[in-house]
Amino acid sequence: MNYENTKEFAEKMDGRDPLKSFRAQFLFPQINGSDAIYFCGNSLGLQPVTVRDAIQQELDDWAQYGVHGHLQAKNPWYSYHEMFAGPLSRLVGAKPSEVVAMNGLTVNLHLLLMSFYRPNGKRHKIVCEKRAFPSDQYALESQVRYHGFDPSTAIVEVGPRPGNDMILTEDILETIDSGKEEIALVLLGGVNYYTGQCFEMEKITAKAQKLGIPIGFDLAHAVGNIELKLHDWGVDFGAWCSYKYLNSGAGSVAGAYVHERHFANPDLPRLAGWWGHDKEERFLMEPGFKPIPSAEAWQLSNAPIFSMAPHKAALDIFEEAGMEKLCAKRDLLTGYLEYIINEADMGMKIITPSDSNHRGCQLSVLTGENGKSIHDELTRKGVVSDWRNPNVIRVAPVPLYNSFSDVYQFGQILQGTGQ
């Protein structure tokens, strides 16, 4: 694509954008009297306009039916979570039985680690990426300690080679290969939150599978951002949150995936609750946990309707747009932002891979010494992006609601900073 740093070019691209109508389905924060240039969907996606009615519906049904809302609400609460099997399975490339909406992301990671991190003597190490999201680091550390091991030796981090930003797939594969006698689990982010690098999940999974090592992905920055084929790749488990690219609201209900080959394994340990129990027998209220033969077996509690309502409204929009179109626009839009940042010539360095096969829509920009003040100025001038210490600005043009004109205007504001 031959990009141009002009308003006309951006408007021409917007005119041709098959997804352009989706922008109107979201509420943009107002800054200085107009829509913010919102490049923070990697952290908190915008509110779909349909969310208010979706929540109101549940309030009305609760008021009208009380406890009978479990079966009589427009979307009965008893089976509410089942509405997510279809949309989530399409988003992550799984079978409907392999996904479930429940809890928060870190909670789901712990529940899945209870099943899939099963250290045994020498074989107790976990391979993860360097600079994993802190919550993931804490989750792994605490799991390792819980099993009586020392995180400083049990957690093996793969980082970039000196002087590089990107972690090479071959280095991840080599780490797994050379440690195969000692590794009990591989857990990586699908897309690293800090650099925006997307890992080659298919290749890495194939390696782990070949060596009989369970592998899972934290898909917080991948779901709704890149195309996933968890089932076909053979990934054992995955978890994600719904408030970033999935636009379901702060702290909204998260998701989990488990490959179907694990459903029939009676030896798989898990923490159980009544919502994971066989549906036919749940209300017999009898002892003896009988897991549902699906990812639902990992559910503990009944469904949080007031976070599932926005989640449902938000996923309906993804169903309408389709990941294929979103990814096509994502590559054009992110490529344009990359071009615009380089054009602005502010002495910044993009540390996200420039190959679109190795990134989603987020670009992480390494700034000079005045980075924080540039970021603050961008904020004052209507740009919503985020700052990560010590010196990175993360900007994510989200294909569902951002435009080429947003990117162009961002460039104009960026060029005007520090003057």
Three-state helix/strand/coil letters over the chain = CCCCCCHHHHHHHHHHCCCHHHHHHEECCEECCEECEECECCCCCCEECCHHHHHHHHHHHHHHHHHHHHHHCCCCHHHHHHHHHHHHHHHHCCCHHHEEECCCHHHHHHHHHHHHCCCECCECEEEEECCCCHHHHHHHHHHHHHCCCCHHHHEEEECCCCCCCCCCHHHHHHHHHHCCCCEEEEEEECECCCCCEECCHHHHHHHHHHCCCCEEEECCCCCCCCCCCHHHHCCCEEEECCCCCCCCCCCCCCEEEECHHHCCCCCCCCCCCHHHECCCCHHHCCCCCCECCCHHHHCCCCCCHHHHHHHHHHHHHHHHHCHHHHHHHHHHHHHHHHHHHHHHCCCCEECCCCCHHHECCCEEEECCCCHHHHHHHHHHCCEECEEECCCEEEEECCCCCCCHHHHHHHHHHHHCCCC
Smallest distance from ligand PLP to CB 244, Å: 6
Q: Which is nearer to ligand PLP, 87 or 104 (CB)?
A: 104
78-104 exposure pattern, b = at least 16 Cβ within 10 A, e = fewer: bebbbbbbebbbbbbbbebbbbbbbbb
Check residue 135 for interaction with ligand PLP (CB under 6 A).
Answer: yes
The stretch near ligand PLP (CB under 6 A) out of 102-110, 163-171, 315-323, 365-373 is: 102-110
Q: Which residue, 135 or 415, is less far from ligand PLP as judged by CB?
A: 135
Question: In this chain, which of 45, 48, 189, 249 binds ligand PLP, going by CB under 6 A?
Answer: 189
Return d(Cα 352, Cα 166) in angstroms, integer: 7
Q: Which 14-43 residues touch ligand PLP, going by CB under 6 A?
A: none
Stretch that binds ligand PLP, among 13-21, 90-98, 215-223, 290-298 (CB under 6 A): 215-223
Query: Is the Cβ of residue 61 or residue 129 nearer to ligand PLP in the bound state?
Result: 129
- The number of residues that bind ligand PLP (CB under 6 A) is 12
CA pair distance 20, 7, nearest whole angstrom: 17
Contact between 220 and ligand PLP per CB under 6 A: yes
Q: How far is the CB of 123 from ligand PLP (least distance, A)?
A: 25
Residues 276-305 binding ligand PLP (CB under 6 A) are none
With tokens 């109101």, the residue in question is: 56
Pairing type for strands 392-395 and 363-366 reads antiparallel
Site for ligand PLP in 235-264 (CB under 6 A): 241
Q: Which of 99, 101, 105, 204 binds ligand PLP (CB under 6 A)?
A: 105
Stretch that binds ligand PLP, among 78-86, 103-111, 174-182, 286-294 (CB under 6 A): 103-111
- Identify the residue among 3, 77, 84, 133 touching ligand PLP (CB under 6 A): 133
Nearest-approach distance from CB 110 to ligand PLP, in angstroms:
10
Beta carbon nearer to ligand PLP, 192 or 205: 192
Closer to ligand PLP by Cβ: residue 210 or 388:
388
Smallest separation (angstroms) from ligand PLP to the CB of 228: 15
With CB under 6 A as the contact rule, the residue among 136, 236, 296, 406 that binds ligand PLP is: 136
Site residues for ligand PLP, 336-365, by CB under 6 A, read none
Identify which of residues 69 and 104 has a Cβ nearer to ligand PLP in the complex.
104
Nearest-approach distance from CB 220 to ligand PLP, in angstroms: 3
Minimum distance from residue 165 beta carbon to ligand PLP (Å): 18
Whether 344 and 208 have beta carbons less than 8 Å apart is answered as no
Least distance from ligand PLP to the Cβ atom of residue 106, Å: 3
**CB closer to ligand PLP out of 105 and 167:** 105
Cα 288 from Cα 390, distance rounded (Å) = 52
Binders in 152-181 for ligand PLP, by CB under 6 A:
none
Question: Smallest distance, Å, CB 163 to ligand PLP?
Answer: 25
Candidates 25, 47, 106, 205; binder of ligand PLP (CB under 6 A) is: 106
Residues contributing to the site for ligand PLP (CB under 6 A)? 104-106, 133, 135-136, 189, 193, 218, 220-221, 241
